[in-house]
Amino acid sequence: MRLSKAGRGRPKGFVADDALETAMMTFWEKGYHATSLDDLVARTGASRASLYKTFGDKRALFLKALDLYGARFAARAKSVLAEEACAREVVRRLLLASAERLAGRQAPPGCLRCQATLELMGTDAALDDALTAANLRFEQVIQTVIDHGLREKQLSEADAEGLARYITGAVNGMVILARGSADHEALQGYVDRVLKAWPDS
């Protein structure tokens, strides 16, 4: 039986979303340069032709994976915002969730966004632009939480100024601590110290 033109190069059962998820986890675990096309083929179960046809080359696939990673965090923040009236509580829950993930084994260690920034920034113009956008997007998600605090009169404009960047830096710091020897308890303590700097309402 001959494959139709649309089906050539695409293995039975290939699902683009699943392949992108697997690619994201692979880049997250191994890093960009250490991830080969053979790794991506082996882990996704897709053919080279199918990956190229669906996503483009390795760099294009990484950029889509980075975008998916950012979208996941934005979705989590949106979900917590819908459940909590207090901006500080939203930040607390996001930081504690990060601590749990960083100290646990349910995901690769570290943070794809942070690790890719350290590995790749300054090596490629297109990657530079994507990483700059990814870091800005992360800060903008935190800024959305801070703006929620402003609207609810939990924060003054003076207090809010720079707070999003401070929280962003705190998350990045957690990543570095977790890549060292910090366990879950240590990261929770770090979160408590970060939140002590939250302005009184």
pLDDT digits (tens, 9 = 90+) for 89-120: 999 999 999 999 998 866 888 899 999 999 99
Residue 152 maps to a domain: yes
For the ranges 81-90, 108-117, 129-138, 178-187, the lowest mean pLDDT is seen at: 178-187
Token digits for 64?
A: 């889509």
Q: What is the largest CA-CA distance in the chain?
A: 71
Predicted pLDDT of residue 13: 56
pLDDT at 1 over 80: no
Nearest alpha-carbon partner for 136 in 164, 108, 176, 102: 164
Domain extent for 89: 66-196
* pTM for the model: 0.87
CB 94 within 8 A of CB 77: yes
Residue given tokens 């080279």 in the structure block: 48
Task: Specify whether the CB–CB gap between 11 and 50 falls below 8 A.
Answer: yes
On whether residue 33 sits in a domain, the answer given is no
The one-letter amino acid at 147: D
Tell me the CATH number at 78: 1.10.357.10
